[in-house]
Structure 1
């Protein structure tokens, strides 16, 4: 490998020799032509220049070759091939090493490119898998970043909030403006990392009925490098579960009340029968006009009390259902016929809409009959109580005197089909404090009545596996909604 060094040194020496000769020629041209002086001067100048160049060569050669030696040393350290043969000079060795390094770098680049491609494919696959998971979650799923802006909203979440895909990026306060309680919990989770589990909140969105949601809000680490904390919100509609839970509790309470009260009601009925007999004996006596009036009033009160006890016994002793196919549309039409005289007396208009086929004027024909399995006699009594109660709830001072009965069918989230009956009046509505007590036996806001009709209707509907709810309409008046499994 030292051959290249010798070649380099000889090249420099030849260069210096040529340089000294050039200077000697220049001196020869500019020195006067005196043979005596020209020869010695030229020789002295040539020798001096040559020696000076030789000294410079010796001084600079080491400095000039230092980077070259370092390059050769680094090439020997970084050599990725077998040790170079002695036949190769240092330049060839450096070139061969450089080519080997370039080839190795090219292989490493290809390996890195393959790894990058595989990592990219895995990232895309993981992202698609995450998207499929989010899309397959049946509950509403909403994620927020550290600034409180939405970054993920799945399809159930958009349906619940009634927003489209453009809602991404909205702040939590704007996105959840109809759910202030939920927005407050999300903000608290973002600020302090508070975890909320199975919180129940009530929401009202647009004109839809109030819904009960189960909310779980958990902090998530969005960016570990920047220590950014977000929030993941999972919402599940538990309205049906809550209603079922309340119905089961009410049913147990009513069953306990019925078992306890049945015996008392029986004893009351015996006592009332005795009172009825004594009053009839009084009427057989010769009484003056005043006494006869008192006896007649007493007999009326005894009969009224007997009817109340009979109604309570019917409520307290639920009879087993005799299930048969019942056409809801036809049943409502028959109930309307039975109550026609009452509606005429009260000057109330009865309007039936939906899929009901009554064959009467002003009622649209049915597209298809809503047939369910129910006890026709008991369901008839429940609907009669509800429609009658709607008519009696309209005060005499009301000018718009109207009761609407509409029917439809709907499917719940589980795909189960329900027959829906809605009875709406134009009365004064139900006081908010009374909505929770409207179906309790003997609770009534009317001056007349026993407070058993709505309780009996509620028991009959729940006994059929359905639901009966009461609410106030936004247009005024009360709305009773019956849902029965179809």
Structure 2
């Protein structure tokens, strides 16, 4: 039958007998087995002739191309996600710069007005809305191509339990878990992986408004390499619900950007999940066996380490300390201005520059005049100019004791995760609040005292 129309195809034997030539069936042809299994096929037919060239029979050749088509569809889906991801990353970065000015100015206004002013509650509401927008840009950055996970070696069990409990609390949906006792550790970004689990379970919750059951199982898996996967040791996570299930047509588009079956929704949730798992070197698939609900299966490469890496914690500064002389580099005027206002609010002296070479020249001149900067805050990337990633090396060459703090709207950039490897003393994600900036600056200045 034709896969798209569901109508029976012309009998290939009749076509060969009628035309007397070699024929091939059209694309989208499938065979349906007695048990209902659907097999995509590519086939051809040719006449069998006797010595007098009369047709005595027909030979048909059928090739199962189900896996080939599935691989091609996955490749197309990945390319589509990458294209939209590049766009999403650029939008999120630019939006974060705008938010830095909005959120920073609102935060400054609240601090300067005091709690008794009538306008403050309005500013607080605006601040809350801006923070929600900040959360949306973080989702876009996670989805974007190039957003690298900040990995730690952890046990996935606790993350799954906490995520499921958070989403299902008060829903009337029960949750069963089945974890293998000696479950292998994984190298993951706990925040991103929690987002994946929460998104999948949230979909299950919304599919069962009248209540139901979610079952989560985890086991160790060792598979040989194949065309579908690289093979090796992995941790398999299976999340199953007893909802209405998924139509085959829905499963095909489930991880496509902006595809949704909900009246309200962005259609980004499962696309982001797919992107996160891919960046962790894993796979995410969905299925819906006849008569059952949706089944999501995650495969994550097992860690080679056998020790859990604890999350790094930075202590809060003891005090603000005396004012420091700080050089700020950012090409966005609205961002650099609000950063200057914040730092001056904290009692520091601030000099602004727009790109890396200007920052290097300014730092060199300050050293020659005996007015050395106590701290430099640099934007990671400068379109059309030298960004902080390159400029920090030149400044450290001028002054090996220079303290340079990196700031960026790309929170998932590898430099932000491993800033010390690139010569920075700390990192701060834009948009930031006054307190976040105060803590980051003081932690950096404390390094100078040490």
1:66-125, CA deviations, whole angstroms, 9 ceiling, x for partnerless residues?
xxxxxxxxxxxxxxxxxxxxxxxxxxxxxxxxxxxxxxxxxxxxxxxxxxxxxxxxxxxx
Structure 2 contact 257–271 (Cα < 8 Å) conserved = yes
CA drift of 1:293 comes to 5.1
Aligned partner of 1:263 in structure 2 is 90
Q: Equivalent residue of 1:276, what SS? A: helix
* Structure 1 residues 195 and 431: CA distance shift in structure 2, 3 A: closer
Gaps of 5+ in 1: 1-172, 174-178, 359-365
Instruction: Give the drift of 1:433.
Output: 6.3
Greater relative CO, 1 or 2 (CA 8 Å, sep 6+):
2
Task: Give distance in 2, aligned partners of 1:415 and 1:314.
Answer: 25
User: Hey, what does 1:252 align to over in structure 2?
Assistant: 79
CA distance in 2, matches of 1:415, 1:441: 23
CA distance in 1, matches of 2:193, 2:174: 20
Give the deviation of 1:312 after TM superposition: 0.9
1:347 to 140, 152, 172: 172
CA displacement at 1:196 relative to structure 2:
0.7
Is the contact made by 1:390 and 1:424 (CA closer than 8 Å) also made in structure 2? no
The Cα of 1:207 is off from its aligned counterpart by: 6.8
- 1:299 counterpart residue number: 127
Provide Cα deviations, 1:173-217, integer angstroms capped at 9, x if missing partner. Answer: 9xxxxx975674455345545511684434565778755x34122
CA distance in 2, matches of 1:203, 1:374: 42
Are the aligned partners of 1:261 and 1:316 in contact in 2 as well (CA < 8 Å)?
yes
Residues 159 and 190, structure 2, Cα contact 8 Å, conserved in 1: no
Q: How does 1:112-261 map to 2 (within 5 A)?
A: 181=8, 184-193=11-20, 195-196=23-24, 199-202=27-30, 205=33, 211=39, 213-221=40-48, 227-239=55-67, 241-261=68-88
- Give the number of the structure whose residues are more often helix, by fraction: 1
> Structure 2 unaligned runs (5+)?
303-450
Matched, 1:439 2:259: no
SS of aligned partner of 1:318: coil
Q: 1:449/1:190 Cα in 2 relative to 1: closer, same or farther (>3 Å)?
A: same
CA distance in 2, matches of 1:200, 1:372: 43
Work out whether residues 198 and 214 of structure 1, in 8 Å CA contact, stay in contact via their aligned partners in 2.
Answer: no
Task: Name the larger-Rg structure.
Answer: 1
Distance across 1 between alignment mates of 2:300 and 2:31? 24
TM-score (norm 2): 0.51
Among candidates 408, 424, 431, match of residue 240 of structure 2:
424
Q: Give the number of equivalent residue pairs.
A: 290
| Aligned residues: CA RMSD | 4.4
The 3 A distance-change label for structure 1 pair 414 and 303 is closer
Paired with 1:287 and 1:333, the residues of 2 have a C-alpha distance of 40
CA distance in 1, matches of 2:137, 2:149: 22
SS of corresponding position for 2:170: helix
Q: Distance in 1 between matches of 2:280 and 2:24?
A: 37
How far did 1:304 drift? 0.8
Secondary structure of residue in 2 paired with 1:474: coil
Secondary structure of the corresponding residue to residue 285 of structure 2: strand
Alignment partners' CA distance in 2, 1:182 and 1:485: 43
Deviations 1:221-275 (A, max 9, x none): 1766873222312222442x33332333333333333333433321211211222
8 Å CA contact retained: 2:32, 2:38: yes
Q: Please state how far the C-alpha of 1:303 moved relative to its aligned partner.
A: 0.9
- Give the match for residue 102 of structure 2: 275
Matches of 2:169 and 2:268, distance apart in 1: 24
Superposed displacement of residue 219, structure 1: 2.0
Contact 2:81 2:271 in 1 (8 A): no
